[in-house]
Amino acid sequence: MAVPDIGKTAERLRWSVWISWACILAAYVAGRFGLSFKGLVEVQAHSSEGDTGTPMVVADISILLLSVALYHLSRMLGAIAAGDLFTARVVGAFRAFAFWLMLVALVWVVAPIVAVVLTGPDEAHRLAFRLQLRDVLTIGVALILFLVARLLERARTIDEEMREIV
Protein backbone atom coordinates (compact mmCIF):
# COMPACT_ATOMS: atom_id res chain seq x y z
CA MET A 1 0.00 0.00 0.00
CA ALA A 2 2.98 2.30 0.45
CA VAL A 3 3.99 2.08 -3.23
CA PRO A 4 0.87 3.83 -4.60
CA ASP A 5 1.38 6.60 -2.04
CA ILE A 6 4.99 6.99 -3.16
CA GLY A 7 3.83 6.98 -6.77
CA LYS A 8 1.27 9.71 -6.16
CA THR A 9 3.76 11.77 -4.22
CA ALA A 10 6.37 11.36 -6.96
CA GLU A 11 3.88 12.43 -9.62
CA ARG A 12 2.87 15.51 -7.63
CA LEU A 13 6.49 16.39 -7.03
CA ARG A 14 7.22 15.92 -10.73
CA TRP A 15 4.48 18.37 -11.66
CA SER A 16 5.57 20.87 -9.02
CA VAL A 17 9.18 20.69 -10.27
CA TRP A 18 8.11 21.45 -13.84
CA ILE A 19 5.64 24.19 -12.91
CA SER A 20 8.20 25.90 -10.68
CA TRP A 21 10.92 25.52 -13.28
CA ALA A 22 8.68 26.91 -16.02
CA CYS A 23 8.01 30.00 -13.90
CA ILE A 24 11.71 30.47 -13.14
CA LEU A 25 12.65 29.94 -16.79
CA ALA A 26 9.99 32.42 -17.95
CA ALA A 27 11.28 35.02 -15.47
CA TYR A 28 14.87 34.39 -16.58
CA VAL A 29 14.02 34.73 -20.27
CA ALA A 30 12.01 37.89 -19.57
CA GLY A 31 14.90 39.39 -17.63
CA ARG A 32 17.52 38.25 -20.13
CA PHE A 33 15.74 39.88 -23.05
CA GLY A 34 14.44 42.90 -21.13
CA LEU A 35 10.76 42.04 -21.43
CA SER A 36 8.28 43.72 -19.12
CA PHE A 37 4.70 42.88 -18.31
CA LYS A 38 2.90 46.21 -18.87
CA GLY A 39 4.51 47.82 -15.85
CA LEU A 40 3.18 45.17 -13.48
CA VAL A 41 6.36 43.17 -13.15
CA GLU A 42 9.88 44.14 -14.10
CA VAL A 43 12.48 41.41 -14.31
CA GLN A 44 16.18 42.12 -14.71
CA ALA A 45 19.05 39.75 -15.41
CA HIS A 46 22.64 40.92 -15.27
CA SER A 47 26.01 39.97 -13.94
CA SER A 48 27.02 42.18 -11.07
CA GLU A 49 29.99 44.52 -11.25
CA GLY A 50 31.75 42.83 -8.37
CA ASP A 51 31.46 39.43 -10.03
CA THR A 52 34.97 39.37 -11.55
CA GLY A 53 33.62 40.21 -14.99
CA THR A 54 31.55 37.06 -15.44
CA PRO A 55 29.50 37.46 -18.61
CA MET A 56 25.80 36.66 -18.85
CA VAL A 57 26.62 33.65 -21.02
CA VAL A 58 27.66 31.86 -17.81
CA ALA A 59 24.14 32.36 -16.46
CA ASP A 60 22.75 31.10 -19.77
CA ILE A 61 24.92 27.98 -19.58
CA SER A 62 23.90 27.45 -15.95
CA ILE A 63 20.22 27.67 -16.83
CA LEU A 64 20.71 25.20 -19.68
CA LEU A 65 22.60 22.72 -17.50
CA LEU A 66 20.09 23.08 -14.69
CA SER A 67 17.30 22.38 -17.20
CA VAL A 68 19.03 19.14 -18.20
CA ALA A 69 19.42 18.22 -14.52
CA LEU A 70 15.73 18.84 -13.86
CA TYR A 71 14.83 16.78 -16.92
CA HIS A 72 16.66 13.82 -15.38
CA LEU A 73 14.99 14.47 -12.03
CA SER A 74 11.65 14.43 -13.83
CA ARG A 75 12.56 11.12 -15.51
CA MET A 76 13.35 9.65 -12.11
CA LEU A 77 10.12 10.90 -10.55
CA GLY A 78 8.15 9.63 -13.55
CA ALA A 79 9.68 6.17 -13.14
CA ILE A 80 8.86 6.17 -9.44
CA ALA A 81 5.30 7.27 -10.22
CA ALA A 82 5.06 4.35 -12.66
CA GLY A 83 5.91 1.95 -9.83
CA ASP A 84 9.67 1.54 -10.29
CA LEU A 85 11.48 1.99 -7.02
CA PHE A 86 14.93 0.47 -7.25
CA THR A 87 15.29 -0.16 -10.95
CA ALA A 88 18.24 0.70 -13.14
CA ARG A 89 16.07 3.38 -14.78
CA VAL A 90 15.49 5.18 -11.47
CA VAL A 91 19.10 4.87 -10.34
CA GLY A 92 20.43 6.00 -13.73
CA ALA A 93 18.15 9.04 -13.85
CA PHE A 94 19.07 9.96 -10.29
CA ARG A 95 22.78 9.61 -11.02
CA ALA A 96 22.37 11.75 -14.16
CA PHE A 97 20.56 14.40 -12.10
CA ALA A 98 23.46 14.48 -9.61
CA PHE A 99 25.99 14.67 -12.46
CA TRP A 100 24.31 17.62 -14.20
CA LEU A 101 23.83 19.41 -10.89
CA MET A 102 27.54 18.98 -10.24
CA LEU A 103 28.29 20.45 -13.67
CA VAL A 104 26.21 23.52 -12.80
CA ALA A 105 28.21 24.01 -9.61
CA LEU A 106 31.51 23.57 -11.44
CA VAL A 107 30.49 26.12 -14.08
CA TRP A 108 29.79 28.63 -11.29
CA VAL A 109 33.26 28.04 -9.85
CA VAL A 110 35.33 27.70 -13.05
CA ALA A 111 33.61 30.15 -15.42
CA PRO A 112 34.93 33.38 -13.87
CA ILE A 113 38.48 32.04 -14.12
CA VAL A 114 37.97 30.94 -17.73
CA ALA A 115 36.44 34.32 -18.61
CA VAL A 116 39.51 36.17 -17.33
CA VAL A 117 41.92 33.76 -19.04
CA LEU A 118 40.12 34.02 -22.39
CA THR A 119 39.88 37.81 -22.37
CA GLY A 120 43.48 38.24 -21.30
CA PRO A 121 44.85 40.17 -18.36
CA ASP A 122 44.45 43.92 -18.32
CA GLU A 123 43.40 46.63 -15.91
CA ALA A 124 39.69 45.79 -16.28
CA HIS A 125 40.10 42.11 -15.40
CA ARG A 126 41.57 40.70 -12.25
CA LEU A 127 41.71 37.08 -11.34
CA ALA A 128 40.02 36.80 -7.97
CA PHE A 129 39.07 33.33 -6.85
CA ARG A 130 36.00 33.69 -4.69
CA LEU A 131 34.01 30.69 -3.63
CA GLN A 132 30.49 31.55 -2.57
CA LEU A 133 28.50 29.57 -0.04
CA ARG A 134 26.01 28.73 -2.81
CA ASP A 135 28.80 27.04 -4.77
CA VAL A 136 30.03 25.04 -1.80
CA LEU A 137 26.50 23.94 -0.88
CA THR A 138 25.65 22.93 -4.44
CA ILE A 139 28.83 20.89 -4.77
CA GLY A 140 28.18 19.31 -1.36
CA VAL A 141 24.59 18.44 -2.24
CA ALA A 142 25.68 16.95 -5.57
CA LEU A 143 28.28 14.79 -3.83
CA ILE A 144 25.67 13.62 -1.32
CA LEU A 145 23.35 12.81 -4.23
CA PHE A 146 26.08 10.61 -5.72
CA LEU A 147 26.23 8.76 -2.39
CA VAL A 148 22.45 8.35 -2.40
CA ALA A 149 22.67 7.03 -5.97
CA ARG A 150 25.13 4.39 -4.78
CA LEU A 151 22.74 3.52 -1.94
CA LEU A 152 19.91 3.18 -4.46
CA GLU A 153 22.11 0.92 -6.58
CA ARG A 154 22.76 -1.27 -3.53
CA ALA A 155 19.03 -1.31 -2.71
CA ARG A 156 18.37 -2.39 -6.31
CA THR A 157 20.72 -5.37 -5.99
CA ILE A 158 19.15 -6.35 -2.65
CA ASP A 159 15.69 -6.07 -4.22
CA GLU A 160 16.77 -8.31 -7.11
CA GLU A 161 18.23 -10.85 -4.69
CA MET A 162 15.02 -10.86 -2.67
CA ARG A 163 12.93 -11.48 -5.80
CA GLU A 164 15.14 -14.44 -6.70
CA ILE A 165 14.62 -15.96 -3.26
CA VAL A 166 10.85 -15.59 -3.38
**Phi and psi angles of residue 122, each rounded to the nearest 5 degrees, phi first:** -160, -170
Helix axes 2-32, 56-81, angle to 10 degrees: 160
- Check if the beta carbon of residue 47 is closer than 8 Å to that of residue 55: yes
* Per-residue tens of pLDDT for the chain, all 166 residues: 455 688 899 999 999 999 999 988 888 888 777 776 666 556 555 555 444 445 677 888 889 999 999 999 999 999 999 988 888 898 899 999 999 999 998 888 887 777 777 766 665 555 556 667 877 888 888 889 888 888 888 888 888 888 888 6
Identify the bridge partners of residue 162 per DSSP, sorted by sequence position. Answer: none
pTM of the model: 0.74
What is residue 1's predicted lDDT score, i.e. its pLDDT? Answer: 44
What is the total count of domains within the chain?
1
Please state, in angstroms and rounded to a whole number, the distance separating the CA atoms of residues 159 and 5: 19
What is residue 47's predicted lDDT score, i.e. its pLDDT? Answer: 53
What is residue 26's predicted lDDT score, i.e. its pLDDT? Answer: 86
- The H or E element containing residue 151 is helix 133-165
- Residue range(s) defining the domain that contains residue 39: 2-165
- Check if the beta carbon of residue 100 is closer than 8 Å to that of residue 68: yes
